[in-house]
């Protein structure tokens, strides 16, 4: 995952130049922190239908051991 983030960071910086440095990287960092904060408040039930399609399970929380 770390390599993925570094490669994307370089690509976004080259493609969007100053806009990424001014706004983009901070927006992405804020999105990560917001997602973490939402998860701290409890389970995210809105993802259950998506998780069920991905792992073939029909029971929430049972399946491939993912965070869903």
What local confidence, expressed as pLDDT, does residue 40 receive?
A: 87
Q: What is the domain extent for residue 24? A: 2-55
User: Does 17 reside within a domain?
Assistant: yes
What local confidence, expressed as pLDDT, does residue 52 receive?
A: 67
Task: Quick: pLDDT tens for 18-52.
Answer: 898 899 889 988 998 998 898 888 776 776 776 66
Question: Rounded to an integer, what distance in angstroms lies between the CA atom of residue 66 and that of residue 21?
Answer: 33
Burial 9-31 (b: 16+ CB within 10 A, else e): eeebeeeeeeebeeeeeeeeeee
pLDDT band at 3 (very low <50, low <70, confident <90, very high): confident
What local confidence, expressed as pLDDT, does residue 68 receive?
A: 52
User: Does 8 reside within a domain?
Assistant: yes
- Number of domains comprising the chain: 1
**Is the model's pLDDT at 65 over the cut of 60?**
no
């Amino acid at each position: 995952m770390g390599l993925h983030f570094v490669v994307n960071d370089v690509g976004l910086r080259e493609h969007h130049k100053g806009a990424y440095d001014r706004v983009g990287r901070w927006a992405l960092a804020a999105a990560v922190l917001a997602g973490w904060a939402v998860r701290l408040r409890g389970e995210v039930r809105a993802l259950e239908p998506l998780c069920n399609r991905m792992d073939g399970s029909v029971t929430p929380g049972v399946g491939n051991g993912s965070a869903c």
